[in-house]
Structure 1
Amino acid sequence: MTTLSIDIISDIACPWCAIGYGRLREALDASSEIDAEISWRAFELNPDPDAVREPIGPALAKKYNMSEQQVDETQQQMKDAAHALGINFDNMDSRYTCNTFDAHRLVKWSAQFEKQTPMKLALFDAYFGHAQSVDEKDVLLSCAESAGLDRNEAQSVLESDDYAQAVRDEEKLWQQAGISSVPAFVINQKYLISGAQESDALVKALSDIAIKESV
């Protein structure tokens, strides 16, 4: 058994990040000789905390210079990909843009309890499955609870500046390392897999890396 360290650079507001993790999980389940230690790393698609919330369709059309029909088609492709992985994207069309900085702080905090992945998945489910704004305190606290974390402790984090500098430092680190889009998977701090690649491709990539690392 080869254990790989996998840093997942992602944003809660990125649907391909949720899909990318689902495909990674599928690939790891199919790779009986590989185990993984996963760490979630922060990246913000909408880093402006003062930005006005917008419905996601018009916001994406404006950002990527697409028609709303093209946005709808792309959203449907993502829904289909998520559904195939058992990921809830039922209300992703109804979501609004939002800042995810506080959500990243909670993901950082949850690491000490080995709850990063449950926390991240709860946030994905809230945002894409239920179109909840993951910059609202009550939503964040409910996500923490559903991840098996203490609501009162999570509230204390949100009411402080705890983990704020850690998130900023982490974002800067990965940007300086050349990460400009997400998801990005960094294996053993040496190998980069970019994007939400299909599970079969991930199986091969992880197997190739495991062979190199075992030599």
Structure 2
Amino acid sequence: MTNSQPQLRIDIVSDVVCPWCIIGFKQLEQALADSGLEADIHWQPFQLNPQMGPQGQELREHVIEKYGVSVEESVSTRERIVDIAKPLGFDINFTDDSRIYNTFNAHKLLHWAEQKGVQHQLKLALFSAYFTDGVNVSDTEKLLDVVESVGLDKDEAMQILQSEPVSDEVNKIAQFWTSQGISGVPAMIFNQKHLVTGAQGTENYTSILKQITSLEQAEQE
């Protein structure tokens, strides 16, 4: 990063069970590296399935039910997701037993982790836990293990999970983003004013970063 290229703030509205969110981030990460830019990343809460029960739902069944696709289309989409993620250095391991889960408690822990300065590490650890290792990210003990893996205190994390004020705050933040018209993820907001939605691909992100930095520099002149 040079003095003429200040650090970008990037808010990423996402869910930890959204494959396109981790794919989009990894593409963005590569684009940032290619562009020689640094970013201050803030992960913002979004629940794909806020009504999902604690046991979750079989993933293939869920996708067919929610999106109206066929079994063949579901399988094809999974294979495409795996193939896109692998060259980005991220392993997604779908199986016949893969399930989708409620992620509200994960978002509570991410909100707390931001205050501790390790939100980004926890978000990536949760992505890996769910997509690579098949962890139930709604299970309290499993969540506490992930928290501990990034150096956070499990007892304090349990207090956060039991905190109604934290629940209220996370709900408030999530509602703010939906009130801004965000209904799908990933949604990336650059310097709190430039919105980009979906996983755009590394080349497109590189182009977007160039445009945004040029605009920012023009505004400062």
Q: Which TM-score applies when normalising by structure 2?
A: 0.92
Flag as ranges the 4+ runs of structure 1 deviating above 3 A: 49-52, 91-94
Say if 1:79 and 1:69 are closer, same or farther in 2 by CA, change over 3 A: same
Equivalent residue, structure 2, for 1:10: 14
User: Is 2:10–2:40's contact at 8 Å kept on the other side of the alignment?
Assistant: yes
CA distance in 2, matches of 1:94, 1:10: 24
Asked whether 1:149 is paired with 2:144, we answer no
Asked whether 1:213 is paired with 2:190, we answer no
1:197 to 195, 200, 217: 200
Equivalent residue, structure 1, for 2:43: 40
1:161 to 159, 164, 178: 164
Q: What amino acid sits opposite 1:20 in the alignment? A: G
Task: Count residues in correspondence.
Answer: 214
- Aligned positions of 1:41-80 closer than 5 A: 41-50=44-53, 53-80=56-83
CA distance in 1, matches of 2:42, 2:96: 29
Say if 1:26 and 1:55 are closer, same or farther in 2 by CA, change over 3 A: same
User: Is 2:78–2:94's contact at 8 Å kept on the other side of the alignment?
Assistant: no
Asked whether 1:188 is paired with 2:218, we answer no
Say if 1:10 and 1:93 are closer, same or farther in 2 by CA, change over 3 A: farther
CA distance in 2, matches of 1:93, 1:25: 30
User: Is 1:92–1:127's contact at 8 Å kept on the other side of the alignment?
Assistant: no
Say if 1:49 and 1:188 are closer, same or farther in 2 by CA, change over 3 A: same
CA distance in 1, matches of 2:118, 2:91: 20
Per-residue CA shift, 1:17-43, capped at 9, x if unaligned?
A: 0111111111111111x2211100000
Q: What amino acid sits opposite 1:68 in the alignment? A: V
CA distance in 1, matches of 2:22, 2:104: 17
Percent sequence identity over aligned pairs: 37
Displacement of 1:51 after TM fit? 6.9
Displacement of 1:206 after TM fit? 0.9
Displacement of 1:207 after TM fit? 1.1
Q: What amino acid sits opposite 2:143 in the alignment? A: L
User: Is 2:54–2:138's contact at 8 Å kept on the other side of the alignment?
Assistant: no
- Aligned positions of 1:114-133 closer than 5 A: 114-133=117-136
CA distance in 2, matches of 1:18, 1:92: 18
- Aligned positions of 1:76-115 closer than 5 A: 76-91=79-94, 94-115=97-118
User: Is 1:91–1:130's contact at 8 Å kept on the other side of the alignment?
Assistant: no
Return 5+ residue gaps in structure 1 as ranges: none
User: Is 1:2–1:214's contact at 8 Å kept on the other side of the alignment?
Assistant: no
Return 5+ residue gaps in structure 2 as ranges: none
Q: Which TM-score applies when normalising by structure 1?
A: 0.95
